[in-house]
Amino acid sequence: MVKDTKQIQRNASLSWQKDLDKSSAKYHTYGAWIAVIFDPIFGLTDYFNIPHAFVEIMSIRISIAVISLFLLYLHHKKKISSKILIFIPFLLISFQNAYTYSVIKVEDFTGHSLNYLALFIGAGMFIMWNKYYSLSIIIPSAIANVIFFNMNHHLNIQEALVNGGLLLIVVGVFMFLLIETRYRLTISMIKSKIALIEANEELITQKSIIESKNTMISFEKAQSDKLLRNILPDEIADELKNTGKAKAQHYQKVSVLFTDFKGFTNRSATMTPEEIIEELNKCFSVFDMIIEKYNLEKIKTIGDAYMCAGGLPIENETNPIDAVKAGLEIQQYMENYKNECIQKNMPFYECRLGINTGEVVAGVVGTKKFAYDIWGDTVNTASRAESNGITGKVNITDATYLLIKDYFECEYRGDIEAKGKGKIKMYFVIKEKI
């Protein structure tokens, strides 16, 4: 962990130093070009200040310009750093100015001080490095100045200080502090910039993570909603999500449809559990499509029994007709299924189907494994209509018959004894009237 922290700190240090080098390289290149161009041009003033040493000093200036030009070439080829590019010309120019003290007279001292002022101003404008580089120029330059100053018997300390020497010292100290302050401020700005970029990148990363999590949450929520709506009617699912519970509702007119397979038990005895499930799924999937077509709501399956109802959770007046149409289509499918099995010489089962219409109470009970269900005498009677029906037929009670008789041809069966219900008038639906 400590090793990782040190590596992170090292990478951060390299990052801001790289930016600092990039920023300083531009200024150092400008400074080197000034040494190439303006130092010889500025040397023309020597013709008026120290004419007796003009050729000698100009030769030195031109030599420094050539060296600076060569250094620019090396820097362009990435052979040297920008600090070395500016360090050598400034050091050489410092020695050049120091050497000049050995050949000037007192009256030329003030004019020559302008050379040093130009050097200091150039340093303040175009140098960006730490104090150690500055000291590496100041200390050798100071020693050179003392040596060459003492070589000139025309000069003395008092006159030198009065004629600009003191000003040079003050400006030199000021420029030293200016360069150091500028260097530190530049580092601080670069670090702040990098910190801002890193913080922005972190925010972008966090935003991306949050968006990814939100997408995942939305997907999972959609899946949960889809699953919930697959179990419950949409209206009941919405109520359950919004309030945490679903109130029981009373419906005045609901048509309940039951189916059951005759011969299923005998055929199941010769099938594996997987084959049983596959066979039921095949039939019940078709039933699901049929009742959806006629706006019925699937309630549940119990073993090989299938239960659905029309007229809920949204009430309507057409549910008896819808239920009968669905019943006829289910029996037609089972007839086709039976014929297919006969052709393949396979065992088959047939379907009994019963419908009853009346009042029910519907709702969701319990707090786990929610299931939408309906209760009431109407449900029990519909179950009896199914159990007292005949395979391949749609058996309906008198309550349903009175509501659909104008739309379907029916066959009266008489009063049928139903377990627990006594005698109930029942009818077979033959077909829809044209």
* 369 torsion bin: left (phi>0), alpha (psi -120 to 50), beta (else): left
Q: What is the pTM of this model?
A: 0.54
Which tens digits make up the pLDDT trace of 398-428? 999 999 999 999 999 999 988 888 999 999 9
Q: What is the DSSP letter of 392?
A: T
Give 105-132 pLDDT, tens digit per residue. 766 666 666 666 666 666 666 666 667 7
**Long-range CB contacts (< 8 A, 24+ apart) of 88-93?**
89/31, 89/32, 89/35, 89/39, 89/64, 90/31, 90/35, 90/119, 90/122, 90/123, 90/127, 90/137, 91/136, 91/137, 91/140, 91/141, 92/64, 92/67, 93/35, 93/39, 93/64, 93/119
pLDDT digits (tens, 9 = 90+) for 289-333: 999 999 999 989 888 899 999 998 889 999 999 999 999 999 999
Domains of the chain and any CATH numbers: 2-202 (no CATH), 242-432 (3.30.70.1230)
Contacts of 116 (CB under 8 A, 6+ apart): 97, 168, 172
Say how far residue 405 (Cα) sits from the centre of its chain: 61
Instruction: Give the tokens for residue 263.
Output: 């011969």
CB 64 within 8 A of CB 93: yes
pLDDT tens, 216-247?
888 887 776 776 666 666 666 666 666 666 67
